[in-house]
Chain A
Amino acid sequence: MAQDSGTRTLISQSQLSRGRGRVIYWALLVVVVAGFTLVFLGPLYWMVTGALKSGQEIAQTPPSLFPKDPQPQNYIDAWNNLALAKLLFNTFYYAIGAVLFQLVFDTAAAYSLSKLRPIFGNVILALMLGTLMIPAMVLIVPQYVTVIDLPIVHINLLDSPFAIWLPLVANAFNIFLLKRFFDSIPEELMAAALMDGATSLRTLWSIILPLSRPILGVVSIFAVTAVWKDFLWPKLVMPSPETRTVSVGIYAFAGGTPMNVVIAASVIAAIPTVIIFLIFQRNIMSGLTTGSIKG
């Protein structure tokens, strides 16, 4: 997604830079920038400042634009009453584990499918990609039944972080992204390494992975945000208050907690993903578009 000021789009550059076109262009730009700021940042502003208002102020008509008497206490209450530190830690722990599991297993699988190409590899890849067609909601019940009593070993994974980590490894989209990236690494590099007597593992570690940092970054960021945003699955497999994720925890408390405190907690829960986005927005956006288009 390079800044492509040079290429011709719907309306030609010359039409935009002269006379009436120029006026319309700038007017439209100002309107859109202002409108988008209002539509997409406005609600966030409302959320952050609303959580600072007192219960009375939030119920007043018409609503005030700035909190008259800011109550940081709402945020403190949210932090303490909802045990947000624990909830955030849980979510962070699940997210980091999900990244590690996905990086190890999905990278190994994609490497095998791309470079080692064992027998039946294509069948396995097709079966994996087939799961992309199956909506999560269809699988939720049998998946839950499987997790509470794993076949053969009969282990119950409820309240265990593995109930979040392992199902996330079965992510065909990641394997597809990684495989396609590995496909673009020239075979000659591999051959040279093998000539020198390197094992497959060594080749992966010292040739493929260093070249794949961008895509590994994309997969990691997606893994973190997926865990952070997920709701129903963690709600089902992490039923205890001690193991909840932050979204589920806030939902569980929403009934008996003052509105402003719930919103304050929601603001705090959103901060990590927003920070991740602002830091990695380039990687996130390029990962999103390469995954879906250039196929």
Chain B
Amino acid sequence: MAITTVPETPRKPGRPPSPYSARPQRTSLGRKVRDNLTGHAFLIGAVLCFVVFSWYPMVRGIVMSFQRTRRGETTWVGWDNYSRIIADPSFWTAWQNTFYFTVLALALGYVVPFFVAILLNEFRHAKGYLRILVYLPVMLPPASALFLFKFYAYDPSEAGLFNAILKALHLPTSQWMQSPEMTMPAMVLASTWMNMGGAVLIYLASLQNIPGELYEAAELDGAGIWRRIVHVTIPQTRLILALLAMLQIVATMQLFIEPLILANGAGAEDSATSVAYLIYQHGFFQNDLNGAAALGVIMLVVLAGFSAVYVRLTAKQD
């Protein structure tokens, strides 16, 4: 990700002279040790938190996935947790649902923000207002926003907001979360509404970095608006586009709170079960933390696969 590709600020060759150099020079070794100790003293708090809550759990998750703890006794069980998790009838459903969600969310939540950003970037008026509007849902607690969708928008009767609108337009109404077919699109809609603000703002900022001469040159060559988008806008923002695609895949693969609140977890005919929800189910309801850890490792491997593809694709273009 771009975040990690930031070049390290090189150590200045002419590092400021030792601050105490006015004093009699002591052995540089003693100074160095002391400077390093000071440096690490400032680091220690954050590093400890990383060790305990991030690095160690990472390793422990992998270790746990090959162990089984029963009545306080932990034994090594090889791949047992993995085979048990994969044999769970919900396993493949959950992956199917999660991929389906990811694809739908990319189609809607990736393409729409890009064009919204292009549109907003052309406006000379009301820009601030529109930006605030788009980002406002991002600031709502997801639980609040999802209860709104669950109770008011996706009410399957004609008293629900969406059904009332559909009816007023003389379109067929929907059962929304009660219908296995509509469950995913409904979750994607709610999720996109809640989250697209971030992507829009990031696109907007990257659009503003495109040199205006490129558009001028393209226009002189007779390129219309669409061709200017294809030949100037997209190539100029492709790194951000690729980065956001990757981030969005990572985020949508973790689909959890939408099924939990909108669909009470599994949804009609298991149509909402996601991999993250399955982790939660196994870990915290079926008392199978080891199986949940194994599923977590599987998820990590799948995401690492996506990252590898991402690195490949972006590296090729440069």
- The reply to whether the CB of B36 lies closer than 8 angstroms to some CB of chain A is yes
Provide the main secondary structure of the chain A interface. Answer: helix
Known contacts A225-B139, A274-B136; decide if A295 and B36 are in contact (CB<8 Å).
no
A-contact bits for B260-277, CB 8 A (1 contact / 0 none): 010000000000000110
User: A50 touching B152 by the CB < 8 A rule?
Assistant: yes
User: B122 touching A263 by the CB < 8 A rule?
Assistant: no
Question: Which chain A positions have C-beta within 8 A of B280?
Answer: 140, 232
Closest partner residue, chain A, to B61 (CB atom): A142
Q: Give bound CA distance, A266 to B98, whole Å.
A: 27
User: A10 touching B118 by the CB < 8 A rule?
Assistant: yes
- The reply to whether the CB of B8 lies closer than 8 angstroms to some CB of chain A is yes
Closest partner residue, chain B, to A276 (CB atom): B139
Q: How many residues of B contact A (CB 8 A)?
A: 123
Q: Give bound CA distance, A144 to B307, whole Å.
A: 26
Residue among A140, A144, A191 making CB contact with B16, cutoff 8 Å: A191
Question: Which chain A positions have C-beta within 8 A of B5?
Answer: 295
Known contacts A133-B307, A141-B279; decide if A104 and B45 are in contact (CB<8 Å).
yes
Question: Which chain B positions have C-beta within 8 A of A140?
Answer: 279-280, 283, 296
User: A139 touching B58 by the CB < 8 A rule?
Assistant: yes
User: B157 touching A169 by the CB < 8 A rule?
Assistant: no
- The reply to whether the CB of A124 lies closer than 8 angstroms to some CB of chain B is yes
Question: Which chain B positions have C-beta within 8 A of A291?
Answer: 3
Provide the main secondary structure of the chain B interface. Answer: helix
Question: Which chain A positions have C-beta within 8 A of B110?
Answer: none
User: A61 touching B143 by the CB < 8 A rule?
Assistant: no
In the complex, number of A-B residue pairs with CB atoms less than 8 Å apart: 350
Residue among B47, B60, B204 making CB contact with A109, cutoff 8 Å: B47
User: A118 touching B40 by the CB < 8 A rule?
Assistant: yes
Residues in B151-198 with C-beta less than 8 Å from chain A: 151-153, 157-161, 164, 167-168, 193, 198
User: B16 touching A173 by the CB < 8 A rule?
Assistant: no
User: B201 touching A10 by the CB < 8 A rule?
Assistant: no
Question: Which chain A positions have C-beta within 8 A of B193?
Answer: 39-40, 43
- Chain A: interface size category: 35 or more
User: B4 touching A229 by the CB < 8 A rule?
Assistant: no
- The reply to whether the CB of B101 lies closer than 8 angstroms to some CB of chain A is no
User: B142 touching A247 by the CB < 8 A rule?
Assistant: yes
Minimum CB–CB distance for B81 against chain A, Å: 11
Residue among B126, B147, B261 making CB contact with A33, cutoff 8 Å: B126
User: B64 touching A142 by the CB < 8 A rule?
Assistant: yes
Question: Which chain B positions have C-beta within 8 A of A29?
Answer: 123, 125-126
- The reply to whether the CB of A259 lies closer than 8 angstroms to some CB of chain B is yes
Q: Give bound CA distance, A176 to B50, whole Å.
A: 14
User: A251 touching B293 by the CB < 8 A rule?
Assistant: no
Minimum CB–CB distance for A170 against chain B, Å: 4
Question: Which chain B positions have C-beta within 8 A of A207?
Answer: none
- The reply to whether the CB of A19 lies closer than 8 angstroms to some CB of chain B is no
User: B153 touching A43 by the CB < 8 A rule?
Assistant: yes
Closest partner residue, chain A, to B298 (CB atom): A138
- The reply to whether the CB of A27 lies closer than 8 angstroms to some CB of chain B is no
Q: Give bound CA distance, A250 to B148, whole Å.
A: 12
Residue among B1, B137, B139, B161 making CB contact with A133, cutoff 8 Å: B1
Residues in B1-59 with C-beta less than 8 Å from chain A: 1-6, 8-9, 11-12, 15-17, 19-20, 22, 35-40, 42-43, 45-47, 49-50, 52-58
Q: Give bound CA distance, A267 to B179, whole Å.
A: 28
Residues in A28-44 with C-beta less than 8 Å from chain B: 28-29, 32-33, 36-37, 39-41, 43-44
- The reply to whether the CB of B257 lies closer than 8 angstroms to some CB of chain A is yes
Question: Which chain A positions have C-beta within 8 A of B213?
Answer: 8
User: B36 touching A109 by the CB < 8 A rule?
Assistant: no
Known contacts A29-B126, A145-B289; decide if A139 and B16 are in contact (CB<8 Å).
no
User: A143 touching B53 by the CB < 8 A rule?
Assistant: yes
Question: Which chain A positions have C-beta within 8 A of B243?
Answer: 292
User: A251 touching B261 by the CB < 8 A rule?
Assistant: yes
Residue among B6, B46, B152 making CB contact with A175, cutoff 8 Å: B46
Question: Which chain A positions have C-beta within 8 A of B1?
Answer: 132-133
Minimum CB–CB distance for B36 against chain A, Å: 4
User: A121 touching B43 by the CB < 8 A rule?
Assistant: yes
- The reply to whether the CB of A85 lies closer than 8 angstroms to some CB of chain B is no
- The reply to whether the CB of A96 lies closer than 8 angstroms to some CB of chain B is no
Minimum CB–CB distance for A186 against chain B, Å: 10
Q: List 6 A-B contacts (CB under 8 A).
A: A37-B133, A61-B159, A167-B53, A191-B16, A250-B147, A263-B151
A-B pairs, 10 with minimum CB distance: A8-B212, A118-B39, A194-B19, A191-B16, A109-B46, A112-B42, A266-B144, A142-B57, A116-B39, A105-B45
9 further contact pairs, Cβ within 8 A, besides A124-B47, A262-B147, A292-B2: A40-B133, A180-B6, A195-B19, A231-B142, A247-B141, A250-B143, A277-B139, A281-B135, A293-B209
